[in-house]
Amino acid sequence: MIGIIGAMEDEVETLKADMEIEEVITKASMTFCKGRLEGQEVVIVRSGIGKVNAGICAQILVDCFHVDRLINTGIAGSLDVRIDIGDIVISTDALHHDMDATEFGDPRGQVPRMDVLSFPADMELVQKAVQANETANPDIHTFTGRVASGDQFVASAEVKQQIVEDFHPLCVEMEGAGIAQAAYLNKISYVIIRAISDKADNSAVMDYPAFEKKAISHSVRLVKELMKLL
């Protein structure tokens, strides 16, 4: 069973419209739609914004639907000059850029008493997601690398630069590491798919509304193509 998590309703509505829905269950104020998409058994759900919502959502998918793979779709801000608005970033790993227990001797980003700094994605899922995007969205570029998550919308060049210096991620967003940590703790596979909607700098206010819809459409096409490869 595959769990597909989007942070916003716009991200999951198109996928839900294309799936054969067999059951709808509400838990923790989240609506879980179980059924089939492109021949795969899936549960599609909107988690809501932020790492706590995302982590709760992932755990419900594990406990109640027994998923063994998690796919997180959405949008993100680019942290690499090579990556343009509309391009796709696929996670190799994810971490919390806003976790700071340095007073206790841990490096920035380290969750205290966890045995890893970042949570590795399933490389088979990563490779198949790359293949799926090259088929579904041949007009855009695909990048693989680290995703940095935090409970803040990064719209400052100064904050962006600090995250880049500390962690060297390709993009920044608000849910992925919560899902990645849940997958790691439950010993299941995951991958984060992010369409770039802004440059995560002082141009965000201008870029975000204009490109959000386009970015989401890229993610949706990718996920549908990915289902055919799994």
**Tokens 């509400």, residue?**
26
CA 132 vs CA 70, 127, 208: distances in Å: 16, 9, 25
Determine which one of 87, 173, 175, 198 is catalytic: 198
54: helix, coil or strand?
helix
Q: Which residues of 26-58 are buried (b: 16+ CB within 10 A; e: fewer)?
A: eeeebebbbbebbebebbbbbbbbbbebbbbbb
Question: What are the contacts of 108-115 at 24+ separation with CB within 8 A?
Answer: 108/166, 108/167, 109/166, 109/167, 111/181, 114/181
Q: How many CB atoms lie within 10 A of CB 138?
A: 8
Q: How does strand 189-198 pair with strand 30-37?
A: unpaired
CA dihedral 140, 212, 199, 110 (to 10 degrees): -100
Residue 166 annotated to the active site? no
With residue 176 as reference, give the H or E element that holds it: helix 176-186
Determine which one of 11, 93, 212, 225 is catalytic: 11
Residue 198 annotated to the active site? yes
Query: Which residues are known catalytic residues?
Result: 11, 198
